Amino acid sequence: MSEVQLKQIGDTALYKPVEVGDLEAMLFLLGNPKATPGEFISLDDIWSATGNPKFPGYLVFLISLQNEAVSLEKALRQVLPKMPTTTMMVWTDYQEEKGEQGVATIRTLLSTELNPGNEPVLAGDVTFKLPPGMNDVHLGARAPVLSGLDADAHLTSLLVTYPPGQDFPTPDGKGVCFPLSGNSVGCLQFQGLIALQPPPPEQYPIEVTLADVQIDPFRPLNGKRTHKTYTGQNYEIVKQADGLHLIPEA
């Protein structure tokens, strides 16, 4: 596949994808308003697996694309960190009244920084707040942010794993995925274990099933954007002397 291209909106520092998917509302805002990448920029230009990207900034997710780009850029710069050296992701509400400056309100900000190995990680804890009855999604500070690449090594998604720990294995590319192209842009995608029949507390074994989950933070109750699909893979969580073990069912 060819790299995902974004086109400059007028004379602003905002860029939008050349090809837009269903309900996709993602923009890129240059961190440095004086940077001059030209009329087009690619996802490969705004992210780097090591070191600082060529053009750091903000991947901005909105509930819908806005017509007034000048007002939107000004509103975003009033609430976002100044002059980032790594690219961040932000879910933002935006409102504007005719003849007045629009107002941007941050719902969730995934701020990033470089770790001692010069690799991008989350700069702090992050929580996606969801409606009552749904579990919030928590991401830990210092969790690596990995590049999701297509067959031609072009960036198509970002993936947040788990923070480093003494007893944790090296992250293997599993975690919470954030698609940057296609119909799921702006969503969170991950796999989770769901109890088939919730047992009494501390009673083992626990029978669980693996599910593929997608959540749209803007549309958590829209079944087309937020849903889970059972994979048919079942497991037992068994308590043994050395801790808990996940065992596939025969």
Q: What's the CA gap between 147 and 43, in Å, rounded?
A: 11
- If asked whether residues 131 and 231 sit together in one domain, one would say no
- If asked whether residues 205 and 236 sit together in one domain, one would say yes
Higher pLDDT, 2 or 94: 94
Residue at which a domain ends, from 157, 186, 215: 186
- If asked whether residues 90 and 47 sit together in one domain, one would say yes
Residue at which a domain ends, from 186, 202, 217: 186
- If asked whether residues 174 and 247 sit together in one domain, one would say no
Q: What's the CA gap between 67 and 69, in Å, rounded?
A: 6
- If asked whether residues 127 and 242 sit together in one domain, one would say no
Which pLDDT score is estimated for 1?
Answer: 60
- If asked whether residues 61 and 103 sit together in one domain, one would say yes
Per-range mean pLDDT, top range of 19-28, 67-76, 140-149: 140-149
Q: What would the mean pLDDT of 202-224 be, rounded to a whole number? A: 93
| SS3 of the chain: helix, strand, coil, percent, to 5 | 5, 40, 55
Q: Any idea which residue has 């935006």 for tokens?
A: 94
Which pLDDT score is estimated for 23?
Answer: 67
- If asked whether residues 177 and 143 sit together in one domain, one would say yes
Domain that residue 249 falls in: 187-250
First to last CA, the chain: 39
- If asked whether residues 148 and 40 sit together in one domain, one would say yes
Q: What would the mean pLDDT of 227-234 be, rounded to a whole number? A: 95
Residue at which a domain ends, from 170, 186, 202: 186
pLDDT band at 195 (very low <50, low <70, confident <90, very high): confident
- If asked whether residues 173 and 191 sit together in one domain, one would say no
Q: How many structural domains does the chain have?
A: 2
pTM for this structure? 0.91
For 26, 59, 180, 204, the CA distances from 187, given in Å and listed in that order, are 11, 13, 9, 34
- If asked whether residues 48 and 150 sit together in one domain, one would say yes
Residue 208: closest CA among 167, 246, 164: 246
- If asked whether residues 33 and 145 sit together in one domain, one would say yes
Which pLDDT score is estimated for 98?
Answer: 73
83-99 pLDDT, tens digit per residue, is 999 999 999 999 987 76
Q: What's the CA gap between 232 and 225, in Å, rounded?
A: 21
pLDDT band at 173 (very low <50, low <70, confident <90, very high): confident
Which pLDDT score is estimated for 166?
Answer: 67
- If asked whether residues 107 and 227 sit together in one domain, one would say no
